[in-house]
Amino acid sequence: MQKYPRLQGPIETYKRWTRNFLLPSGDEWVRVRAGLSAGLNVHLHFPEEAGVWLGEHEPEVQRAIEAVVQPGWVVFDVGAAIGTFALGIARLVGPTGRVAAFEADPAQAERLREHIARNKLDSITQVVEAAVWSPTSGETIPFRRGSRMRTQGGVESAGIRPILGDGELIRVPATSLDAYVASSGTAPQLIKIDVEGAEYEVLHGAEKLFAAHRPLVIAEIHTTQARDRIRTWMAEHRYAIQETVLFDPVPIRLLAWPKERGATWTHAVLPGE
Protein backbone atom coordinates (compact mmCIF):
# COMPACT_ATOMS: atom_id res chain seq x y z
CA MET A 1 0.00 0.00 0.00
CA GLN A 2 2.98 2.32 0.54
CA LYS A 3 3.60 2.18 -3.21
CA TYR A 4 0.14 3.61 -3.96
CA PRO A 5 -0.57 6.19 -1.23
CA ARG A 6 -3.40 7.81 -3.23
CA LEU A 7 -5.42 4.61 -2.94
CA GLN A 8 -5.22 4.39 0.83
CA GLY A 9 -7.96 6.96 1.52
CA PRO A 10 -10.55 5.45 -0.87
CA ILE A 11 -9.78 1.94 0.39
CA GLU A 12 -10.27 2.96 4.03
CA THR A 13 -13.54 4.69 3.09
CA TYR A 14 -14.73 1.51 1.35
CA LYS A 15 -13.82 -0.59 4.41
CA ARG A 16 -15.84 1.71 6.69
CA TRP A 17 -18.81 1.60 4.32
CA THR A 18 -18.62 -2.20 4.20
CA ARG A 19 -18.55 -2.47 7.98
CA ASN A 20 -21.45 -0.10 8.45
CA PHE A 21 -23.80 -1.50 5.81
CA LEU A 22 -22.83 -5.05 4.85
CA LEU A 23 -21.67 -6.64 8.08
CA PRO A 24 -23.89 -8.00 10.88
CA SER A 25 -25.39 -5.55 13.34
CA GLY A 26 -25.48 -6.15 17.08
CA ASP A 27 -23.89 -9.02 19.00
CA GLU A 28 -22.82 -12.15 17.12
CA TRP A 29 -20.68 -15.22 17.74
CA VAL A 30 -18.31 -15.44 14.77
CA ARG A 31 -15.16 -17.24 13.75
CA VAL A 32 -12.16 -14.98 13.15
CA ARG A 33 -11.46 -15.02 9.43
CA ALA A 34 -7.73 -14.26 9.25
CA GLY A 35 -4.65 -13.34 11.23
CA LEU A 36 -3.21 -14.52 14.53
CA SER A 37 -6.55 -15.80 15.89
CA ALA A 38 -7.95 -17.16 12.60
CA GLY A 39 -10.51 -19.92 13.16
CA LEU A 40 -11.15 -19.07 16.82
CA ASN A 41 -14.63 -18.15 18.08
CA VAL A 42 -15.39 -14.69 19.48
CA HIS A 43 -18.52 -12.86 20.57
CA LEU A 44 -18.34 -9.41 18.96
CA HIS A 45 -20.28 -6.15 18.84
CA PHE A 46 -20.90 -5.21 15.19
CA PRO A 47 -20.02 -3.05 13.39
CA GLU A 48 -17.57 -1.59 15.95
CA GLU A 49 -15.51 -4.78 16.31
CA ALA A 50 -15.65 -5.93 12.71
CA GLY A 51 -11.88 -5.50 12.38
CA VAL A 52 -11.35 -8.25 14.95
CA TRP A 53 -13.57 -10.63 12.98
CA LEU A 54 -11.74 -9.86 9.73
CA GLY A 55 -8.31 -10.26 11.35
CA GLU A 56 -7.41 -6.65 10.51
CA HIS A 57 -6.78 -5.44 14.05
CA GLU A 58 -3.17 -4.17 14.35
CA PRO A 59 -1.68 -6.46 11.67
CA GLU A 60 1.89 -5.34 12.42
CA VAL A 61 1.52 -6.48 16.03
CA GLN A 62 0.14 -9.79 14.84
CA ARG A 63 3.16 -10.29 12.58
CA ALA A 64 5.59 -9.29 15.33
CA ILE A 65 4.04 -11.85 17.70
CA GLU A 66 4.06 -14.61 15.10
CA ALA A 67 7.71 -13.85 14.31
CA VAL A 68 9.00 -14.60 17.81
CA VAL A 69 6.59 -16.60 19.99
CA GLN A 70 7.55 -20.25 20.38
CA PRO A 71 5.76 -23.32 21.82
CA GLY A 72 6.25 -23.48 25.56
CA TRP A 73 6.70 -19.73 26.03
CA VAL A 74 5.09 -17.66 28.74
CA VAL A 75 3.52 -14.43 27.45
CA PHE A 76 1.98 -11.56 29.44
CA ASP A 77 -0.76 -9.65 27.58
CA VAL A 78 -1.22 -6.43 29.56
CA GLY A 79 -4.46 -4.77 28.51
CA ALA A 80 -5.83 -7.94 26.95
CA ALA A 81 -9.39 -6.61 26.42
CA ILE A 82 -11.52 -9.42 24.94
CA GLY A 83 -8.54 -11.56 23.93
CA THR A 84 -7.93 -10.35 20.38
CA PHE A 85 -4.26 -11.25 20.81
CA ALA A 86 -4.29 -13.50 23.88
CA LEU A 87 -6.34 -16.20 22.14
CA GLY A 88 -3.98 -16.46 19.18
CA ILE A 89 -0.92 -16.33 21.45
CA ALA A 90 -2.33 -19.21 23.53
CA ARG A 91 -2.52 -21.29 20.37
CA LEU A 92 1.09 -20.40 19.50
CA VAL A 93 2.54 -21.31 22.91
CA GLY A 94 0.51 -24.53 23.00
CA PRO A 95 -0.23 -26.82 25.95
CA THR A 96 3.25 -26.43 27.46
CA GLY A 97 3.07 -22.63 27.41
CA ARG A 98 1.13 -20.06 29.42
CA VAL A 99 -0.59 -16.75 28.76
CA ALA A 100 -1.41 -14.30 31.56
CA ALA A 101 -4.07 -11.94 30.22
CA PHE A 102 -4.39 -8.80 32.37
CA GLU A 103 -7.62 -6.85 31.97
CA ALA A 104 -9.02 -4.28 34.41
CA ASP A 105 -12.45 -3.55 32.91
CA PRO A 106 -14.91 -6.05 34.45
CA ALA A 107 -17.07 -6.31 31.32
CA GLN A 108 -14.05 -6.87 29.09
CA ALA A 109 -12.63 -9.45 31.49
CA GLU A 110 -15.92 -11.35 31.46
CA ARG A 111 -15.95 -11.48 27.66
CA LEU A 112 -12.31 -12.59 27.73
CA ARG A 113 -13.15 -15.50 30.03
CA GLU A 114 -16.08 -16.39 27.78
CA HIS A 115 -13.81 -16.52 24.72
CA ILE A 116 -11.18 -18.58 26.50
CA ALA A 117 -13.77 -21.14 27.59
CA ARG A 118 -15.47 -21.28 24.18
CA ASN A 119 -12.13 -22.03 22.49
CA LYS A 120 -11.04 -24.53 25.17
CA LEU A 121 -7.93 -22.55 26.07
CA ASP A 122 -8.56 -22.58 29.84
CA SER A 123 -5.53 -24.74 30.62
CA ILE A 124 -3.19 -22.30 28.86
CA THR A 125 -4.68 -18.85 29.57
CA GLN A 126 -5.23 -17.18 32.94
CA VAL A 127 -7.30 -14.01 33.23
CA VAL A 128 -5.92 -11.57 35.78
CA GLU A 129 -8.71 -9.07 36.41
CA ALA A 130 -6.63 -6.13 37.57
CA ALA A 131 -4.99 -2.96 36.35
CA VAL A 132 -1.23 -3.32 35.97
CA TRP A 133 0.53 -0.41 37.61
CA SER A 134 3.76 0.60 39.32
CA PRO A 135 4.73 -1.00 42.65
CA THR A 136 1.54 -1.53 44.62
CA SER A 137 0.37 -3.41 47.70
CA GLY A 138 -2.69 -4.73 45.90
CA GLU A 139 -5.02 -1.81 46.56
CA THR A 140 -7.67 -0.65 44.13
CA ILE A 141 -7.11 2.16 41.66
CA PRO A 142 -9.42 4.52 39.68
CA PHE A 143 -10.19 3.28 36.18
CA ARG A 144 -11.99 5.28 33.49
CA ARG A 145 -14.00 2.96 31.28
CA GLY A 146 -14.48 3.36 27.56
CA SER A 147 -18.07 3.90 26.49
CA ARG A 148 -18.58 3.28 22.77
CA MET A 149 -15.25 1.44 22.51
CA ARG A 150 -14.56 -0.49 25.71
CA THR A 151 -10.89 -0.98 24.74
CA GLN A 152 -10.28 2.75 25.26
CA GLY A 153 -10.54 2.56 29.04
CA GLY A 154 -7.56 2.90 31.36
CA VAL A 155 -6.20 3.91 34.75
CA GLU A 156 -6.91 7.50 35.80
CA SER A 157 -4.46 8.28 38.57
CA ALA A 158 -1.35 10.35 39.38
CA GLY A 159 -1.97 12.71 36.47
CA ILE A 160 -2.44 9.86 33.98
CA ARG A 161 -5.73 9.18 32.23
CA PRO A 162 -6.75 7.23 29.13
CA ILE A 163 -6.59 9.43 26.04
CA LEU A 164 -10.00 8.39 24.68
CA GLY A 165 -11.64 6.95 27.79
CA ASP A 166 -14.98 8.71 28.27
CA GLY A 167 -17.07 6.31 30.33
CA GLU A 168 -17.78 5.95 34.04
CA LEU A 169 -15.03 6.08 36.66
CA ILE A 170 -14.81 2.90 38.74
CA ARG A 171 -12.29 1.35 41.09
CA VAL A 172 -10.55 -1.87 40.12
CA PRO A 173 -7.93 -4.12 41.72
CA ALA A 174 -4.33 -3.17 40.96
CA THR A 175 -1.14 -5.19 40.76
CA SER A 176 2.37 -4.87 39.40
CA LEU A 177 4.14 -7.35 37.15
CA ASP A 178 6.79 -7.88 39.82
CA ALA A 179 4.07 -8.76 42.33
CA TYR A 180 2.42 -11.15 39.90
CA VAL A 181 5.70 -12.91 39.08
CA ALA A 182 6.49 -13.23 42.78
CA SER A 183 3.09 -14.75 43.58
CA SER A 184 2.77 -16.99 40.51
CA GLY A 185 6.36 -18.10 40.07
CA THR A 186 5.91 -17.50 36.33
CA ALA A 187 8.00 -15.11 34.24
CA PRO A 188 7.46 -14.23 30.58
CA GLN A 189 9.60 -14.33 27.46
CA LEU A 190 7.35 -11.64 25.91
CA ILE A 191 5.24 -8.82 27.33
CA LYS A 192 2.64 -7.08 25.18
CA ILE A 193 1.40 -3.75 26.58
CA ASP A 194 -1.59 -1.68 25.47
CA VAL A 195 -2.96 0.31 28.39
CA GLU A 196 -4.04 3.65 26.92
CA GLY A 197 -1.41 5.88 28.52
CA ALA A 198 -0.07 3.99 31.56
CA GLU A 199 2.69 2.15 29.70
CA TYR A 200 5.56 3.59 31.72
CA GLU A 201 3.88 2.64 35.00
CA VAL A 202 3.64 -0.97 33.80
CA LEU A 203 7.41 -1.05 33.16
CA HIS A 204 8.19 0.76 36.42
CA GLY A 205 6.36 -2.02 38.26
CA ALA A 206 8.48 -4.68 36.54
CA GLU A 207 12.04 -3.69 37.51
CA LYS A 208 12.88 -7.06 39.06
CA LEU A 209 11.30 -8.96 36.18
CA PHE A 210 13.38 -7.13 33.58
CA ALA A 211 16.59 -7.43 35.58
CA ALA A 212 16.23 -11.18 36.02
CA HIS A 213 14.42 -12.41 32.91
CA ARG A 214 15.00 -9.88 30.09
CA PRO A 215 11.72 -10.36 28.20
CA LEU A 216 10.89 -9.00 24.76
CA VAL A 217 8.37 -6.12 24.66
CA ILE A 218 5.68 -5.03 22.23
CA ALA A 219 3.96 -1.83 23.37
CA GLU A 220 1.67 0.86 22.05
CA ILE A 221 2.56 4.18 23.66
CA HIS A 222 -0.16 6.81 23.76
CA THR A 223 1.43 9.99 25.16
CA THR A 224 4.62 11.94 24.54
CA GLN A 225 5.37 11.88 28.27
CA ALA A 226 5.21 8.09 28.37
CA ARG A 227 7.23 7.85 25.14
CA ASP A 228 10.07 10.00 26.51
CA ARG A 229 10.14 8.24 29.88
CA ILE A 230 10.12 4.80 28.23
CA ARG A 231 12.97 5.72 25.87
CA THR A 232 15.06 6.64 28.92
CA TRP A 233 13.94 3.55 30.84
CA MET A 234 14.87 1.24 27.96
CA ALA A 235 18.32 2.80 27.60
CA GLU A 236 18.95 2.45 31.34
CA HIS A 237 17.95 -1.22 31.18
CA ARG A 238 20.16 -1.90 28.13
CA TYR A 239 17.32 -2.52 25.70
CA ALA A 240 17.33 -1.79 21.98
CA ILE A 241 14.12 -0.31 20.59
CA GLN A 242 12.43 0.01 17.23
CA GLU A 243 9.61 2.54 16.90
CA THR A 244 6.82 2.98 14.37
CA VAL A 245 4.93 6.28 14.45
CA LEU A 246 1.23 5.55 14.11
CA PHE A 247 0.17 9.20 14.26
CA ASP A 248 2.65 12.04 14.71
CA PRO A 249 3.81 12.47 17.45
CA VAL A 250 1.88 9.68 19.22
CA PRO A 251 0.76 6.98 19.46
CA ILE A 252 3.80 4.95 18.53
CA ARG A 253 4.38 1.23 18.42
CA LEU A 254 7.52 0.03 20.16
CA LEU A 255 9.38 -3.26 19.80
CA ALA A 256 12.14 -3.76 22.37
CA TRP A 257 14.69 -6.45 23.12
CA PRO A 258 17.79 -6.86 25.35
CA LYS A 259 20.86 -5.52 23.57
CA GLU A 260 22.83 -8.62 24.47
CA ARG A 261 20.51 -10.75 22.34
CA GLY A 262 21.14 -8.89 19.09
CA ALA A 263 18.39 -7.92 16.64
CA THR A 264 15.17 -9.79 17.43
CA TRP A 265 12.73 -8.37 14.91
CA THR A 266 13.50 -7.49 11.31
CA HIS A 267 11.96 -5.05 8.86
CA ALA A 268 9.70 -7.92 7.74
CA VAL A 269 7.25 -7.20 10.56
CA LEU A 270 6.97 -3.47 9.96
CA PRO A 271 4.11 -1.84 8.07
CA GLY A 272 4.61 -1.35 4.36
CA GLU A 273 7.85 -3.37 4.23
**Confidence at residue 268, expressed as pLDDT on a 0 to 100 scale:** 45
Rama region for 130: left / alpha / beta (φ>0; ψ in -120 to 50; rest): beta
- Cα torsion angle, 127, 128, 134, 140, sign: positive
Q: What is the DSSP letter of 82?
A: T
80: confidence class by pLDDT, cuts 50, 70, 90? very high
The pair phi, psi for residue 87, each rounded to 5°, is -65, -50
* pLDDT per residue as tens digits for the range 7-36: 556 666 655 555 555 566 689 999 999 999
Locate all alpha helices (DSSP H) within the chain, ordered by sequence.
5-21, 50-54, 59-68, 86-93, 106-118, 177-184, 199-204, 207-213, 224-236
Higher-scoring residue by pLDDT: 230, 163: 230
The pair phi, psi for residue 58, each rounded to 5°, is 45, 65
Rounded Cα distance between 92 and 237, Å, is 28
Rounded Cα distance between 223 and 197, Å, is 6
Indicate the CATH number for domain 58-269. 3.40.50.150
3-class secondary structure, 152: helix
**Confidence at residue 187, expressed as pLDDT on a 0 to 100 scale:** 98
Domain boundaries, the chain: 58-269
CA angle 55-61-65, nearest 5°? Answer: 100
